[in-house]
Structures are given as C-alpha cells and as structure tokens.
C-alpha cells in the first residue's frame, strides 16, 4: 500500500497525463459513425506506432551486439507499424471520399 | 539549473508536445467523414516530426543517439516493407493487414521491455526491490506487447483464412489458467528484494513465453467473423504497451499517444460491439459467431423467382434499392452489381444502395467494396434514411445479406438480434433475395423475411446470378 | 527515495487526481440538459474533497498547514455569505451574481500572487534574474486575476443597472494604451537581473493598480446587454489566473481545473457570440448593442388590434404559439403570461411557447423566466421545432420580443442579423405583437414584421396589456 | 529564446497537462445547447474557485500578520466563489428540470 502511494506521488504528473489522455480518447471517439470504425481503428493503430521512439532510444544507446540486433529488429517492426498503419488508413479513406 | 539545459532537449520536448496535439487532432478529425483523411495525415506528420527529432536531439545521460546509420537502415527497411505491403494488398484484405501491423507494434513494445529489463538501475533495485515504477512499466509492456503480438498474428491468420475456428469449449478454462499464471508470476517477480538482476533475467523470457502463448489461446477460440472486434481490442492493448515505454523513458509523446490509442481503442471496441447489438464479453466468450449453413426447420412457403421475371420486374420499376451484404463480398460480385445498377439507371430506374453499418464482416465493409467497383458515393444511403422511404420502393434486391434484413430484429423480442437496427426491406412492394440456398447468416438464426408474401428468392452464387440477370436485362 | 514520502502527500495527490477527473466529468454532464444538475454536484464533490484534503495533508518543506482555526473561520464566513446571497437573490438577478462570484475568484488569485511576489526564492533570482517560471506565473496570476476582478465588478454593476452605458468612442484608444503599458511594465519586471526582491516589491503594487484600472476601462464601454458574453470571457480569465497558482505550487488540481475553465470558458464565449450571429471582436469593440427607442423611418402600414378583438381571436383559435422576449422579462409579466396560457388551455386551445435560444439578455433567459412562473416544461419548444409547424399555427403572440422574430434575418442579406436563426412567426396565419411602441430591440434595427399584412400590434407595457387581455378572455 | 526553451524543458509535464486540459475543455463544451450556456458558465465559474486551494496554502504558511490577513481575505473570497458558484448553478438548473 505504502509503495503504491509513494508511486503515485513520484509519478503524479505522468498519472495526470494518463488520466487526461484517457478522457480525451473517450471524448474524441465517442461519436464516430459506424462506417468509420475500420479506418479509425487503422488510424489509431498507426498512432501507437509511436513505440518506435522507444525502439530508437534503445537502439541508439545499445552497447552490446545482442542488444543492437534486438534494437534493430524493434526499429524495423516499429517502422512497419507506423508506415503500414498510415498508408493503409489513407488507402481506406480514399475509398470513402466523394467522387465527382 | 535553467541555463544548463541543452537547446536540443528543449526543442525535442516542444516537438513532442506538438506531435501529441497532432495525434489528438488527427484522431478527432478521423472520426468525421469529411475530415478523416486530413486527420490521418495530421497524425502522420506528428509521427514523422517526433521520429526525426528523437534521432537528432535525444540524449541519455548526456549521450546522443548512436548507431544513426543503422537506425536509418532499419527505418528504411521497415518503410520499404510496410509501404509495399500496404500499397499492394487488396482492399478486401485490409482488416488482416491492420492486424498484422498492430502485431508489429506490439512486438516492438515487447522487445523494448525485454532489453530494458536487465538494464534496470541496480541502485534503485537495492533500495526498493523490484517493486518500483520502472519494473512495473517494463513487465506490463512485455506482457501486453507480447499478448498483442501473438493475438494479432492469430487474428491475421483467421482473417486470411489460414486458421480455422476450432470449437474448443475447454479453452475458456485454459485461458483463465494462463491469465492467472501470468499474474502470479508477475507478482512473484515484483516482490523480489535484494537480488542481482543477472540472476533473474531469465524470468523476463519466461514471462515473454507465457504471454505469447496466452495471446494465442486468447484469440484462437473466437470466431473469425468477430476478428474486427478482437483486432480493435488488441489495438488498444498495443497502445497501452507503447505508453509503458513512455513511462520508462519519461517520454510524454509515447505516453500520450499510447494512452490515447488505449482509451480510444477501448471505446471503439465497445462501439463496434454495440453496432452488432452484442456485449464485448459475449464476443470474447463467443456465444455465437462463425455462421454456417443452417437447417431449415420452418414450415413456410418459399417462393422462387426466375431470372427473366426478375429482370422484367427490375426494368419496369421506378425505385429500386439494393441491399448488399456479406455474400456479395464473398462472391466478389461488386463489379457486376455496379454494372446492373448502371444498366437500370440508363433505363430510367432510380437505383440506390442501402448500406447497413455492420453489413459484411468489418465496419464500412460495403462502402469499401462498392467504392472499389467505382459506385458513385451519392448512390449510397445509410439504412435509416432509406427506411423512411421504404413503402415507396418498388423492388428491393438483397444480395448476399441476411442478418441486416432480418425482421426478427424489429418484431421478435426473444431473438438474439432483437433491437439491432436493420434495413426494413419487407416494407417495400417487392423483395428479391439473392443467395445460394437457405444458409444462415453470421448470427446463425432463422430469417422469416424469406417466407414473406412479397419476397421472392433467386438462388445461386451472387456472381453467377448477377451475370445471368444482367444478360437478361440487356436482352429486354 | 520512494520510502521517504509521507503517506499524506501521496493521498493528497490521489485526491487531486480524483477531483480533477470529477471537474471534467462534471463539466461534461453540465453540457447535457438531463445530466446537468448531477454534473454540478459532481464538481462540487471534487472541490470539497480537494479543500478538505489540502487542509489535512498539505506540506510545504515538511511544514503542515498552520492557522487551521483561522482558515476554517475564513471558510465559514465565505460559505455563510456565499450561500446566503446565492439562495436569496432573485432568479432574474442570476447573471450579475455569477459575475460577482467570478470577481471574487479573480481577486483571490490576485491576492495569492501579491503575497507570493516578495517570497520568491532569492537563490533562483540570483541565478536566473526575474525571467523564470515562478515569476511569470506570479505576474500573470496578478494581472489576469485583477483584470477579472475589476471587470467582473463593472459587469455586475451594469447588469444590476447601477452603471450605465456611456458612449465613449475614445475608450478604445485608452484601452489599447493601458494594455501596452501593462505589457511593457511586465517585460520590464521580468528583465530585471541581480536585484533584491525588497527593492522591487512595489512594482507588484503598481502592476496591480494598472491591471485594476484596465479591468474597468475594458468593460465600461461595452453595452449592458453584452455583459453575458463579457462575464463568460472574464470567467475564463479567472480560470487561467487560478491555473497560474497551480503552476506556482506545483499543484495539479489547480492547474487542470483552472485551465479547463479557461479553455471551456473561451469556447463558451465564442458559442454565445455565435448564437447571436456576432463575432467576439464585434462584441468587445461594440458595433451595436444597448438597443433603445428607434425612429420609425419606414413608411408602412401599422395595423393595431383592440384588446377585445385579440381576446376573441385567441379564444377561438386551435393552435396558438407564444414567443416571449426581452420585453416580457422587463415587464416581469411571466406570471400573467402563464395565466393567460392556462385560460386558453382550458378553452381547448393548444398553446405552446417558442423559445429562441438568445431571446432576452442571457442564454436560457426565457426558460428561467417561465420556469419561475411554473410554466410546464413540455409546453416549451425550441424555435426550430415550432418553425416547421408554423404554417398550421392560427395565432402567434409575440410578447416583448423583437430581434428574434425579425424576418430580415432570413430575407435581407444586408442586415446585421442576417443568418441568425429566428422564429418565423410571419408564416403563421395571424401575428399579434405586444410591445410598448415602435422601440427597437437589442440589435437596434428596423423590424418589417410589424408592417406585414397578417400582423396586428397591441401597444402597451406587456404587463398591463396581458392583464387587460386576461380579463377580456375571462368575460367571453 | 534560450530561456523560453529551458522553461519548456523544466516544466514539460505541466505544459503537457495544460495542453491536454485545453483540448479537453474544448472537446467537452463544444456541443452544449444554447439554453445551457448560462448554467454552464456559472458551473465553470464555480470550478475555477479551485483557486481557494492556493489561498489555503498561502494562509497556512503565512508568517506575518500582514500576510495572514491577506491570506484570510483570499480564503474568504475563494470560498465565496466556490460556494456561491455551485449554489447559484444548482438553483438555475433546478429551474430547468422537468416538472411532472
Ligand atoms: N460489419 C462488421 O463490422 C461485422 C463484424 C463482425 C460481425 N458482423 C456481423 O455480420 C453480419 C452481417 O450481416 P450480412 O447481412 O451482411 O451477412 P450475413 O447475415 O452473414 O449473411 C450473409 C449471407 O450471404 C449468403 N452468401 C454467402 N456467400 C454467398 C455467395 N457467394 N453468393 C450469394 N450469397 C452468399 C449466405 O447465405 P447462403 O449460404 O444461403 O448463400 C448468408 O446468409 C451481422 O450479423 C453482423 O452483426 C459484422
Ligand atoms: N440571450 C442572450 O444571451 C443575449 C445576450 C446578449 C444579447 N442578446 C440579444 O438580445 C436580443 C434578444 O431579442 P428579443 O427579441 O428577446 O428582444 P429585443 O430584440 O431586445 O426586443 C425587445 C423588445 O421588447 C420591447 N419591450 C421592452 N420593454 C417592454 C415592456 N415593458 N413591455 C412590452 N414590451 C417591451 C421593446 O420594444 P418597445 O420599446 O417598443 O416596447 C423591444 O423592441 C437579440 O438581439 C440577442 O442577440 C441576447
């Protein structure tokens, strides 16, 4: 219990940021029409590709060959998520645009 | 204190802030049809800014990012592969692709945790044991990331029809056991005190293994048709895993971006379930799903219609509404459907499509399908709109749809789909239903529409039936 | 590091988190009619939690909160006064009351800054000069808080009709000068280096003085009828000032709460302007406003109606719509209006009220007014709803409304109110307009409705006219 | 410039919290119907009464009579804002509730 409370105190800003982000996520999504569910899922999928930042940091400070290799893999996978995610979403949304 | 901060770090924080705001705005715009595409581009811009500036400005204990050449190589490889796949793949294979990319993100998060585990600060561990924010973030990132990776791969396989839907009742027990095991093991790791990290590094691998297996067993028993919901759920998992990385590196853009996707993804999952009038639990535990050919137990009169009669009926109508469904996608008959619609249009018939939000197997499935066949956007109407005008419609052509035109949703409170909004085709003057036989739809329930007085069945694969219908109309 | 944190501080942070979430949820619920009241209670609960726990658990450099007795006394006094005023004041005086309380918040923020200024950390100032986050937060809190206080008091005076609307064209210049002066002086303070705080403490008082004067000169020239918008703006100012305190004390609940109000208040201000079809700039600089008796330059035919004819017309109608406006509030004739409505209802006439969103002088003014007279909620319709049915309405009775029934909003693109949604009363079969004379409304423009063929004027103070009308109807 | 940048770095969490709160405020309010403008204004008014927390902190650590007096005043005014704000809002909203 003590540990959890101290944890909260030390990370208070991060916890606030988390709470606010959760509320924002809910707020922003809650009125989306059903036909946009799939592109939205795909777009959100691309955004969590932000994990690539972590992969870059890990790889950028890797000191052994093993960790460099794993880091390399992480960056490749993260990039896949980002690039694939955004491109696929764009393709889907292109289908929805009004044709003249 | 203030003067000693390198400019680069401050710029980086500013960029992270901007990127986070772009993510939020992007997501917001993504949820409105007119602005959706711009929204996606906004988030992408935020991402690119964040990546470039991390490489340029990030410092850890005063050290800048090293191995930049290799990093750029890795990014190039990832970009090349990701772009190629994303551009090449057929529109109808989109859901599995989303699942695949989602898995990649999960794997990256798990890898980061795996590498950070043995690098934890020994001083910190000496002081607090393993029970500290750092360790918790690492372990959560590892577990959630690998579950998301493994689960997404299975979902991918199911949607690509490489993995079937085994009916495994005992899986529920297996799953609960696994979940409990992972939980217990995590608590075990966290309660370690006075240990050397080298002595427990193997535990991270065990946890990784357990989580991967759980990811598989979690998704395997869920029906293929429910995969969109599962992917959306795993999507929010990966978001949370990414946020753990943000916690680890005190990196706000990862934190905001990850959590944002985590919460938006969860809401989206719930909305998707709602659109099908089911609960998330029901989807995960799997009360129905998978569909299949049902036995016809109803004693009623099925009235068939010949292709030539159907052609005449359609050609001499004023208002025709087409209701496409999953069968149209299976038969890949969207181009033929468009052709027929054009021909009728030339004959002066007013043809519209009634798009039900959950027709097909992913939200917006019909929009994507018909857009692929170049059906003009203004021919598509939401089912609610069409419903109002239904009594004035001469003929409704139901092509491979079943559940979304089931009157039970309106008049049978005991039906599992009761309350789901449907296209009320039975209110039109005539209904032609094109399907192969008396097979049931996704919800695996009977559809009394087929026995109505004003309903005529046109049996056969949608593609072939449409082909015949078209040549018939042409020859009129 | 982790073990040394007193439990109280952690609990406090947790409570602050919960309070912030309650504020957000409260605000969210406040913006939906059904949940609004619960939303207000939620925020209040968050506030009470935050206050109690601050007193119990807050520590500064290890010191707990002192003078608890006095603090509780201060809170009791504030509660007593605040509660008494809030409960006693008449419903129609609400806007000025909001302004008053808003001013109190601004004053509190300014006082905090004033006290913190001489207490700034000398080490910090030795290192960075005055250009640091602490000093910026203090100065901003001081400026914004005092502008908000002074401005709110003027707005209060205007709404309570203790301060008039002087037409001071030169005020714009004065205002800009003051603003520039405050800005320059702030920059001057912030660029001080190597100084002793005692030597510049007087500057805080000068800044306070300047800001108070600016608050007065800012609001004085704006027309009394525009005060709701001004109050909303000052409201968001106070929010920002409160957030500065949060920055100062590293206090997240003040930060979130304050900024939330700052941004929500800004949006609300803009929405209020939009509802009147004006821009915020237009309101602040004051292109029109204040209303007044206008000269009748239009050569047209005004047709009056006698009280007895009006009574007959109303009694033998099937559908009657009442459009209340600012004049009804001025005349305090809401109770008579309800009486007439009940009498007509008893005679079998279908009577409804068309509530225009910006009728009166504050949003929702008519709702509050009619609610005070116990008019049943389901008799009130939004103007859009009524508009659809307008051609079927036999008689529309416009009581003290003018701009909200002006056809120029629909058919005269050169009119300043063109595009504003209005109640399209002229589409009804008959219109009876009750007002004192040919006085103009808030927008100070001509209203051609009064010259229409199917319009009849019933001149006189709304209260007296209604009284006569009622006795006439009674005697029928 | 340098100072502003350092400022951003030092207060990065607070700045994130501010940015997220701004977006939340916008998101939450943007669909409010016109008749609720006044009560909403009043409700928001009550929330910025959170400034009372600051007043309590100042007063609780006051060391001179002068600052104690000012602090006392600040707490009284802050309480006025909070209590008056919530009570007035509640009274207004009471008027809007459906009568049977
Ligand atoms: N859109 C989503 O996001 C989503 C996601 C998951 C689940 N779902 C669920 O999926 C269902 C969608 O409804 P729906 O009406 O589109 O589809 P459905 O109810 O699944 O019915 C499809 C029908 O198409 C027929 N069919 C299959 N292949 C065909 C072919 N080659 N040619 C002609 N007909 C063919 C089948 O009958 P025969 O076998 O007799 O031909 C079947 O009855 C809903 O229950 C919904 O809740 C939707
Ligand atoms: N609701 C808000 O939030 C808000 C805020 C600020 C501004 N406004 C603005 O206020 C206006 C509201 O429109 P409105 O139609 O309600 O009012 P209005 O346009 O201001 O007109 C009020 C009319 O009532 C008459 N009147 C005044 N005292 C009266 C009395 N004792 N008995 C009978 N009639 C009397 C006046 O004419 P006589 O002098 O001939 O009697 C006047 O023409 C809009 O322009 C709106 O933009 C609204």
**Do B319 and B358 belong to one domain?**
yes
Is A5 in Cβ contact with C7 (below 8 Å)?
Answer: yes
Report the alpha-carbon distance of residue B469 to residue B340 in Å, rounded: 8
Report phi then psi at C354, rounded to 5.
-100, 110
Lookup: tokens for C188 = 């001057």
According to the model, what pLDDT value does residue B122 have?
84
The CA–CA distances, whole Å, from C191 to B360, C184, C209, D6, D45 equal 66, 11, 20, 16, 34
What proportion of chain D, given as a percentage, has pLDDT over 70?
Answer: 94
Residue C324 forms beta bridges with which residues? C399
Residue pLDDT, tens place only, B247-269: 999 999 999 999 999 999 999 99
Q: Where are the alpha helices (DSSP H) in B117-170?
A: 122-128, 133-159
**Do B235 and B358 belong to one domain?**
no
Q: Which residues of B touch C1 (CB under 8 A)?
A: 127
> Does residue C128 lie within any of the structural domains?
yes
Report phi then psi at C432, rounded to 5.
-115, 125
According to the model, what pLDDT value does residue D98 have?
52
According to the model, what pLDDT value does residue B298 have?
52
pLDDT band at C224 (very low <50, low <70, confident <90, very high): confident
CB C291, CB C403: distance < 8 Å: no
According to the model, what pLDDT value does residue B168 have?
67
Question: What is the pLDDT of chain C when averaged over all its residues?
Answer: 88
> Does residue B78 lie within any of the structural domains?
no
**Do C239 and C361 belong to one domain?**
no
CB B362, CB B276: distance < 8 Å: no
Those residues whose C-beta lies under 8 Å from the C-beta of residue B351, and which sit 6 or more positions away, are B320, B321, B322, B341, B344, B345, B379
**Do B239 and B332 belong to one domain?**
no
Place of tokens 């082909």: B467
The residue ranking higher by pLDDT, C71 or C32, is: C71
> Does residue C417 lie within any of the structural domains?
yes
- The residue in chain D having the minimum alpha-carbon distance to the alpha carbon of residue C267 is D26
Closest chain A C-alpha to C18 CA, distance in angstroms = 9
Ligand 2 centroid – CA C286 distance (Å): 17
Lowest mean pLDDT among B251-265, C121-135, C226-240: C121-135
Check pLDDT > 60 for residue B281: yes
Residue C323 forms beta bridges with which residues? C398
| Minimal-distance CA residue to ligand 2 atom 2 | C362
Q: Which residues of C touch A21 (CB under 8 A)?
A: none
**Do C337 and C272 belong to one domain?**
no
> Does residue B67 lie within any of the structural domains?
no
> Does residue C14 lie within any of the structural domains?
no
**Do C281 and C345 belong to one domain?**
no
Residue pLDDT, tens place only, B160-184: 878 877 766 777 788 888 899 999 9
CB B64, CB A63: distance < 8 Å: no
Residue B54: closest CA among B98, B115, B13, B110 = B13
Lowest mean pLDDT among B3-7, B417-421, D58-62: B3-7
- The residue in chain C having the minimum alpha-carbon distance to the alpha carbon of residue A9 is C10
Q: Tell me how many helices (H) and strands (E) chain D has.
A: 6, 0
Residue B37 forms beta bridges with which residues? none
Query: Buried b / exposed e across B111-136, counting CB within 10 Å, b at 16+?
Result: bbbbbbbeebeeebbeebbbbbbbbb
According to the model, what pLDDT value does residue C1 have?
43
Structural domain that includes position C337 = 307-475
Lowest mean pLDDT among B81-90, B143-152, C169-178, C246-255: C169-178
Those residues whose C-beta lies under 8 Å from the C-beta of residue C83, and which sit 6 or more positions away, are D83, D84, D87
CB B427, CB B410: distance < 8 Å: no
Residue pLDDT, tens place only, C308-341: 999 999 999 999 999 999 999 888 899 999 999 9
Among residues B250, B374, B403, B412, the one annotated as catalytic is B403
Is B259 in Cβ contact with A51 (below 8 Å)?
Answer: no
CB B2, CB D9: distance < 8 Å: no
Q: Could you tell me if the CB of B158 is within 6 A of ligand 1?
A: no
Other residues' Cβ atoms within 10 Å of the Cβ of residue B372: 16
Lookup: tokens for B15 = 């960029």
pLDDT band at C2 (very low <50, low <70, confident <90, very high): very low
| Ligand 2, pocket residues at CB < 6 Å | C 225-226, 228, 276, 291, 293, 325-327, 330-331, 358-363, 365, 400-404, 435-443, 461-462
Report the alpha-carbon distance of residue D29 to residue D41 in Å, rounded: 10
**Average of pLDDT values for C57-62?**
90
**Do B457 and B405 belong to one domain?**
yes
Q: Could you tell me if the CB of B326 is within 6 A of ligand 1?
A: yes
According to the model, what pLDDT value does residue C294 have?
40
Those residues whose C-beta lies under 8 Å from the C-beta of residue C472, and which sit 6 or more positions away, are C307, C308, C310, C311
Report the alpha-carbon distance of residue C444 to residue D21 in Å, rounded: 39
**B399's torsion region: left (phi>0), alpha (psi -120 to 50) or beta?**
beta
What proportion of chain B, given as a percentage, has pLDDT over 70?
Answer: 95
Check pLDDT > 90 for residue C209: yes
Report the alpha-carbon distance of residue B324 to residue C20 in Å, rounded: 48
Residue C105: closest CA among C252, C283, C265 = C265
Check pLDDT > 70 for residue C446: yes
Report the alpha-carbon distance of residue B106 to residue C166 in Å, rounded: 66
**Do C336 and C470 belong to one domain?**
yes
**Do B378 and B251 belong to one domain?**
no
**Average of pLDDT values for B336-359?**
92
Residue pLDDT, tens place only, C72-96: 999 999 999 999 999 998 777 888 8
Residue C267 contacts A, CB cutoff 8 Å: no
Query: CATH number of the domain that C402 lies in?
Result: 3.40.50.1220
Residue pLDDT, tens place only, C129-142: 888 888 999 999 99
The CA–CA distances, whole Å, from B33 to A31, B28, B358, C189 equal 12, 11, 17, 50
Is C11 in Cβ contact with A12 (below 8 Å)?
Answer: no
> Does residue B413 lie within any of the structural domains?
yes
Q: Could you tell me if the CB of B363 is within 6 A of ligand 1?
A: yes
Residue B188: closest CA among B168, B169, B210 = B210
Strands C319-324 and C395-399: parallel
**Do B278 and B317 belong to one domain?**
no
Top residue of D16, D29, D30, D31 to mutate, by most chain A CBs within 10 Å, is D16
3-state secondary structure of B324: strand
According to the model, what pLDDT value does residue B101 have?
96
**D69's torsion region: left (phi>0), alpha (psi -120 to 50) or beta?**
alpha
CB C170, CB C234: distance < 8 Å: no
Q: Which of residues 400-439 of B touch A (CB under 8 A)?
A: none
Other residues' Cβ atoms within 10 Å of the Cβ of residue C240: 23
- The number of folded domains in chain B is 2
> Does residue C25 lie within any of the structural domains?
no
**Average of pLDDT values for C249-275?**
92
Lowest mean pLDDT among A50-64, C91-105, C154-168, D48-62: C154-168
Is D9 in Cβ contact with B13 (below 8 Å)?
Answer: yes
Pocket test for ligand 1, best of B224, B277, B279, B327 (most atoms within 8 A of CB): B327
* Cα atoms in the 13 Å half-sphere on the side-chain side of C337: 34
Top residue of B30, B119, B240, B241 to mutate, by most chain A CBs within 10 Å, is B30
Question: What is the pLDDT of chain B when averaged over all its residues?
Answer: 88
**Do C115 and C264 belong to one domain?**
yes
Closest chain A C-alpha to C134 CA, distance in angstroms = 18
Those residues whose C-beta lies under 8 Å from the C-beta of residue B415, and which sit 6 or more positions away, are B406, B408, B409, B445
Domain boundaries, chain A: 1-31, 34-100
According to the model, what pLDDT value does residue C287 have?
45
Handedness of CA B378, B382, B385, B390 (dihedral sign): positive
Residue B246: closest CA among B91, B390, B137, B166 = B137
Residue C9 contacts A, CB cutoff 8 Å: yes
**Do B117 and B260 belong to one domain?**
yes
Instruction: Determine whether C403 is an active site residue.
Output: yes
Closest chain C C-alpha to B134 CA, distance in angstroms = 12
pTM, rounded to two decimals: 0.84
Other residues' Cβ atoms within 10 Å of the Cβ of residue B91: 14
Report the alpha-carbon distance of residue C232 to residue C140 in Å, rounded: 19
**C224's torsion region: left (phi>0), alpha (psi -120 to 50) or beta?**
alpha
Is C132 in Cβ contact with B3 (below 8 Å)?
Answer: no
Element (H, E) at A49: none
> Does residue B417 lie within any of the structural domains?
yes
The CA–CA distances, whole Å, from C151 to B342, C112, C157, D41 equal 66, 18, 10, 16
């Amino acid at each position: 219990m003590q540990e959890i409370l101290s944890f909260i105190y030390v990370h208070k800003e991060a916890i606030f940021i988390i709470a606010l982000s959760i509320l924002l996520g809910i707020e922003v999504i809650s009125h989306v029409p059903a036909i946009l569910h799939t592109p939205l899922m795909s777009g959100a999928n691309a955004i969590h590709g932000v994990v690539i930042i972590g992969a870059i940091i890990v790889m950028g400070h890797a000191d052994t060959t093993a960790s460099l290799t794993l880091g390399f893999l992480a960056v490749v996978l993260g990039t896949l998520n980002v690039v694939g995610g955004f491109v696929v979403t764009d393709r889907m949304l292109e289908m929805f645009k009004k044709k003249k | 204190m203030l003067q000693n901060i390198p400019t680069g770090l401050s710029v980086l924080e500013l960029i992270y802030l901007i990127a986070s705001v772009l993510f939020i705005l992007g997501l917001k715009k993504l949820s409105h049809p007119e602005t959706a595409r711009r929204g996606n581009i906004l988030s992408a811009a935020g991402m690119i800014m964040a990546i470039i500036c991390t490489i340029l400005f990030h410092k850890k204990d005063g050290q800048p990012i090293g191995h930049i050449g290799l990093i750029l190589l890795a990014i190039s490889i990832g970009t090349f592969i990701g772009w190629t796949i994303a551009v090449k793949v057929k529109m109808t294979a989109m859901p599995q692709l989303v699942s695949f990319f989602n898995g990649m993100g999960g794997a990256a998060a798990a890898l980061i945790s795996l590498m950070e585990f043995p690098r934890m600060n020994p001083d910190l561990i000496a002081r607090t044991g393993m029970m500290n924010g750092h360790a918790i973030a690492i372990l959560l990132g590892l577990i959630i990331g690998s579950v998301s990776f493994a689960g997404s791969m299975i979902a991918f396989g199911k949607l690509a029809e490489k993995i079937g839907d085994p009916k495994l009742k005992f899986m529920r027990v297996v799953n609960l056991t696994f979940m409990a095991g992972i939980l217990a093991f995590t608590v075990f790791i966290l309660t370690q005190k006075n240990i050397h990290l080298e002595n427990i590094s193997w535990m991270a691998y065990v946890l990784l293994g357990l989580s991967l297996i759980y990811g598989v067993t979690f998704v395997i028993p869920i029906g293929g048709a429910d995969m969109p919901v599962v992917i959306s759920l795993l999507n929010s998992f990966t978001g949370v895993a990414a946020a753990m990385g943000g916690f680890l590196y005190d990196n706000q853009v990862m934190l905001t971006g990850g959590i944002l996707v985590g919460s938006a993804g969860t809401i989206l999952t719930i909305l998707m379930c709602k659109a099908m009038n089911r609960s998330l639990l029901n989807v995960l535990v799997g009360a129905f799903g998978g569909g299949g050919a049902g036995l016809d137990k109803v004693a009623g009169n099925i009235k068939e219609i010949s292709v030539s009669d159907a052609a005449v009926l359609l050609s001499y109508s004023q208002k025709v509404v087409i209701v496409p469904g999953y069968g149209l996608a299976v038969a890949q008959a969207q181009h033929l459907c468009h052709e027929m619609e054009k021909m009728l249009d030339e004959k002066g018939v007013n043809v519209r499509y009634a798009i039900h939000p959950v027709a097909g197997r992913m939200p917006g499935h019909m929009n994507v399908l018909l857009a692929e066949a170049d059906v003009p956007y203004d021919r598509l109407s939401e089912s609610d709109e069409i419903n109002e005008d239904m009594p004035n419609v001469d003929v409704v052509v139901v092509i491979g749809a079943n559940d979304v035109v089931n009157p039970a949703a309106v008049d049978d409170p005991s039906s599992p789909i009761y309350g789901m909004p449907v296209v009320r085709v039975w209110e039109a003057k005539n209904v032609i239903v094109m399907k192969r036989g008396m097979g049931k739809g996704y919800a695996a329930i009977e559809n009394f529409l087929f026995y109505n007085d004003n309903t005529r069945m046109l049996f056969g694969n949608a593609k072939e039936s449409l082909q015949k219908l078209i040549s018939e109309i042409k020859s009129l």
